Structure 1
Amino acid sequence: MSTNTNKIRVLIVDDSALIRQMLTAILDSDPDIEVVATAPDPYIAREKIKSLNPDVLTLDVEMPRMDGITFLRNLMRLRPMPVLMVSSLTEQGADVTLEAMELGAIDFVTKPRIDVQHAMQAYAEEIVAKVKMAAKARPRAYSDDGSRSAVKPRLSADAVIGRSRHRPQFRTTDSLIAIGASTGGTEAIKEVLQALPADTPGVVITQHIPAAFSAPFAKRMDGISAMSVCEAEDGQQIVRGHVYIAPGDRHLLVERDGARFVCRLNEGPPVNRHRPSVDVLFRSVADQIGINAVGVLLTGMGNDGAHGMQEMKQAGAHTIAQDEASSVVWGMPGEAVKLGCVDRVLPLNRIAAAVLGAEEKRSPAVNG
């Protein structure tokens, strides 16, 4: 076994011997990662964490003797470390995984239910990328064959929506808040929504999330927010006091329909390898709402949303990015900052107030 201290040292915790074997093969195939051990349950994992001090833990949700959530709760209280949950794509799996994110897990990878060996190989690139991301993240303490799948082309928003030449140039009484997020975003979105009052202008959200997870996530947010939160539907009118979250397998766009704004869902190709894509949402907001919008880019890996935020800024929208210190991963907001298209860079706990402040500033202009 390699002793290269520069490698990311991973402990795999899963009751399935096949999953342990597959994850080990996938991660050990990368020169920057070393699986230092595996464990079939949390009790064995606890001893190996003490003796091996791994950099990243992959943790199964359902295990014998102690479930993954109980173990994670104890771990994040006593020894916070980067944890990736391994979850099934079921409604129950979604609920448990979202709870794990609340407890401090960095992200999750999906466990296939059928044809496990081939399906896991298809996720190999994503799994490796998420382990590398987790190793750099800031954990929060708790108080169709067997070959590797081809890399998806990195398309821009042009693949889904063209650029408009007729963006709104004048302030109106109709406004909208657009939020984008990825890794760490479920908890970041929760904190922002909890701080927004019931009469906040309509909010549209794109969070990178699997299709099975978006409806449970919306339901979870509805339970903590003064606003009404739902998974967006095609043609649904966007109204004050409501939040619309993109389904996990379709792009969310905003479209003007007479005097109203409505949600539009699009099954176009992935943009920046994501569907839904933040760039697609932000471009539609820039085109349809322009100066009457506020754009917010929260924690996330990669650069999805940065160019869309640049287009929103060019259209006159007020733009806000989460700062590096409060982000789990400062990828997406950091890229927007590099493009010079962010009006304010703020810690997460100040973003809701900044959104409301931007709305207050625009009101006098509307009312003369």
Structure 2
Amino acid sequence: MAPLHATAMTGPVTDPIRVMVVDDSVVIRGLIGRWIDEERSLAVVASHRNGRLAVDDVKRANPDVVVLDIEMPDMDGLTALPLLLKQKPNLVVIIASTLSRRNAEISLKALSLGAADYVPKPEGNSQVTTSAEFRRELIEKVTNLGERAKRRPARAMSATVAMQTRTAQQASAQPAAPAGATPIRMRQPVEAPAVRNKSAFTLKSYSASRPRVLCVGSSTGGPQALNAFFGHVGSSMGNIPVLLTQHMPPTFTAILAEHLTKAAGRPAAEGQDGEVVRPGRIYVAPGGKHMTVAKTGTEMVIRLNDGPPVNFCKPAVDPLFQSAVEAYGSAVLGVILTGMGADGAKGVTQIAQAGGNCLAQDEETSVVWGMPGAAAHTGMCADVLPLDELGRKVARILMGGRL
């Protein structure tokens, strides 16, 4: 089989991404290892049957990414996760788990403990072997998250070198102290906060349209981002409904909704086909179904469909956003959070062209700046903001504040 070419982040990565595979099944370890080694940009540096062996080997193997199973003898994945991150804080850990409710709960718990993402693993070795979707998603996430992790130290080093250079230049420009005088101790310059580079995309002016619905799309890094986002927005959404698509498999979306209920202080649940949309509630697209909204008489209702994946995703963001424009016209506020790929960019364009407003999360606070980056580059977003600022901005819009 020809190698899969996952969508890469901007700029080349010269050294291969180093991957450790941790799974109690020798068949799974061998299969994932073979898939990884078939990719020119990836290399397997270690393979272990339990978490304890992985923790003991992480310093020697020095992986950039660990693909970590949950259920293993001696030490399971959830126990190993914080120990791996303690050994190497910038390590990318991707949880691979089957779709049971227990494993879904554990996977979401792992995200809160520092795992970067998860990949749903089919039941049984034979299904894993034949699942092209599992292979595609695994390789895509290892590649994208691994490249971002390798670039972070490089960016930090560049900033450090630049600061040291400025310090040296400032020191050499100071006049020499007179003999016997106490030298002036220069204050170490404070590194200025990173400036959000808006030159790569343009922003659209806010429209005066007052939103009657908030539509949110997210993927990789989404569960953590959504909790933070709704922590800001929950108290301000009493007069409008929220329609949310997070790229997740079945079971996971139901548990995500339970978590969002706590984060937002508002009821959240998977949308049900034919359900009337009510203000103050969060409707989560169920895993494995596309969720849209439609106007029926004087009411808005949820529609679920089992159509083909859109942008390789099911549920997908674009169908939801597009349907919201058809139902609400210009009264749509769209938000794109962290995620891989470009799902949502078409929907953002349609919302803006209809007279609504769209915002996107910035690159620095995104786990992956694929979806929000694609949205930003449409030129149809009114703002591209760090996650906390984004939540506060949306809350202000929903409360009728000045833009």
| TM over 0.5, shorter chain | yes
- Residues 117, 352 of structure 1: alpha-carbon distance in 2 compared, 3 angstrom cutoff: closer
Structure 1 CA distance for aligned equivalents of residues 283 and 296 of structure 2:
17
User: One-letter code of the match for 1:298?
Assistant: L
Which of 322, 325, 332 matches 2:361? 322
Counterpart residue number, 1:150: none
Counterpart residue number, 1:133: 144
User: One-letter code of the match for 2:96?
Assistant: V
User: What secondary structure, in the 3-state scheme, does the structure 1 residue paired with 2:278 have?
Assistant: coil
Which is further off, 226-235 or 75-84?
A: 75-84
Counterpart residue number, 1:110: 120
Shift of 1:199: 5.4
Once the two structures are superposed, residues 173-196 of structure 1 have per-residue CA deviations (whole angstroms, 9 ceiling, x without a partner) of x70100000111111111111222
Structure 1 CA distance for aligned equivalents of residues 274 and 80 of structure 2:
43
Kindly indicate whether the alpha-carbon contact (under 8 Å) linking 1:196 and 1:227 is maintained by their aligned counterparts in 2. no
Which is further off, 118-127 or 318-327?
A: 118-127
Larger Rg: 2
Counterpart residue number, 1:66: 75
Q: How does 1:328-347 map to 2 (within 5 A)?
A: 328-347=367-386
| Fraction of identical pairs, as percent | 37
Kindly indicate whether the alpha-carbon contact (under 8 Å) linking 2:348 and 2:380 is maintained by their aligned counterparts in 1. yes
Kindly indicate whether the alpha-carbon contact (under 8 Å) linking 1:287 and 1:315 is maintained by their aligned counterparts in 2. no
- Residues 357, 20 of structure 1: alpha-carbon distance in 2 compared, 3 angstrom cutoff: same
Which of 93, 101, 104 matches 1:91? 101
Shift of 1:212: 2.5
Structure 1 CA distance for aligned equivalents of residues 310 and 61 of structure 2:
39
> Is the aligned partner of 1:48 residue 2:48?
no
Shift of 1:213: 1.4
User: What secondary structure, in the 3-state scheme, does the structure 2 residue paired with 1:294 have?
Assistant: strand
> Is the aligned partner of 1:11 residue 2:27?
no
Which of 345, 349, 352 matches 2:388? 349
Structure 2 CA distance for aligned equivalents of residues 48 and 116 of structure 1:
30
Kindly indicate whether the alpha-carbon contact (under 8 Å) linking 1:82 and 1:137 is maintained by their aligned counterparts in 2. no
Structure 2 CA distance for aligned equivalents of residues 69 and 94 of structure 1:
12
Root-mean-square deviation (CA, aligned residues, Å) is 2.3
Which of 258, 261, 275 matches 1:219? 258
Kindly indicate whether the alpha-carbon contact (under 8 Å) linking 1:138 and 1:328 is maintained by their aligned counterparts in 2. no
Counterpart residue number, 2:221: 184
Kindly indicate whether the alpha-carbon contact (under 8 Å) linking 2:215 and 2:334 is maintained by their aligned counterparts in 1. yes
Structure 2 CA distance for aligned equivalents of residues 235 and 85 of structure 1:
34
Kindly indicate whether the alpha-carbon contact (under 8 Å) linking 2:209 and 2:355 is maintained by their aligned counterparts in 1. no
- Residues 117, 335 of structure 1: alpha-carbon distance in 2 compared, 3 angstrom cutoff: closer
Kindly indicate whether the alpha-carbon contact (under 8 Å) linking 1:182 and 1:207 is maintained by their aligned counterparts in 2. yes
User: What secondary structure, in the 3-state scheme, does the structure 1 residue paired with 2:85 have?
Assistant: helix
Shift of 1:362: 7.7
TM-score, length-scaled by structure 1: 0.84
Which is further off, 187-196 or 71-80?
A: 71-80
Segments of 5+ residues of structure 2 without an aligned counterpart are 1-12, 153-206
Counterpart residue number, 2:88: 79
User: What secondary structure, in the 3-state scheme, does the structure 1 residue paired with 2:350 have?
Assistant: helix
User: One-letter code of the match for 2:228?
Assistant: E
Kindly indicate whether the alpha-carbon contact (under 8 Å) linking 2:236 and 2:399 is maintained by their aligned counterparts in 1. no
Q: How does 1:167-246 map to 2 (within 5 A)?
A: 175-198=212-235, 200=237, 201-246=240-285
Structure 1 CA distance for aligned equivalents of residues 115 and 147 of structure 2:
13
User: What secondary structure, in the 3-state scheme, does the structure 2 residue paired with 1:270 have?
Assistant: coil
Structure 1 CA distance for aligned equivalents of residues 376 and 263 of structure 2:
30
- Residues 177, 117 of structure 1: alpha-carbon distance in 2 compared, 3 angstrom cutoff: closer
Shift of 1:122: 5.1
- Residues 122, 191 of structure 1: alpha-carbon distance in 2 compared, 3 angstrom cutoff: closer
Q: How does 1:116-127 map to 2 (within 5 A)?
A: 116-120=127-131, 123-127=134-138
User: What secondary structure, in the 3-state scheme, does the structure 1 residue paired with 2:97 have?
Assistant: strand
Which of 32, 35, 41 matches 1:32? 41
Kindly indicate whether the alpha-carbon contact (under 8 Å) linking 1:300 and 1:330 is maintained by their aligned counterparts in 2. yes
Kindly indicate whether the alpha-carbon contact (under 8 Å) linking 1:112 and 1:119 is maintained by their aligned counterparts in 2. no
Counterpart residue number, 2:306: 267
Q: How many residues align?
A: 332
User: One-letter code of the match for 1:130?
Assistant: K
Kindly indicate whether the alpha-carbon contact (under 8 Å) linking 1:22 and 1:120 is maintained by their aligned counterparts in 2. no
Structure 1 CA distance for aligned equivalents of residues 386 and 349 of structure 2:
20
Shift of 1:84: 0.8
Structure 2 CA distance for aligned equivalents of residues 233 and 28 of structure 1:
42
User: One-letter code of the match for 1:261?
Assistant: M
Structure 2 CA distance for aligned equivalents of residues 192 and 236 of structure 1:
25
Once the two structures are superposed, residues 122-177 of structure 1 have per-residue CA deviations (whole angstroms, 9 ceiling, x without a partner) of 5222221111012034599xxxxxxxxxxxxxxxxxxxxxxxxxxxx9957x7010
User: What secondary structure, in the 3-state scheme, does the structure 1 residue paired with 2:19 have?
Assistant: strand
User: One-letter code of the match for 2:335?
Assistant: V
TM-score, length-scaled by structure 2: 0.77
Kindly indicate whether the alpha-carbon contact (under 8 Å) linking 2:228 and 2:263 is maintained by their aligned counterparts in 1. no
Kindly indicate whether the alpha-carbon contact (under 8 Å) linking 2:121 and 2:128 is maintained by their aligned counterparts in 1. no
Once the two structures are superposed, residues 51-94 of structure 1 have per-residue CA deviations (whole angstroms, 9 ceiling, x without a partner) of 12111111111112222112212333552211110101111111
Kindly indicate whether the alpha-carbon contact (under 8 Å) linking 2:96 and 2:121 is maintained by their aligned counterparts in 1. yes
Shift of 1:19: 1.1
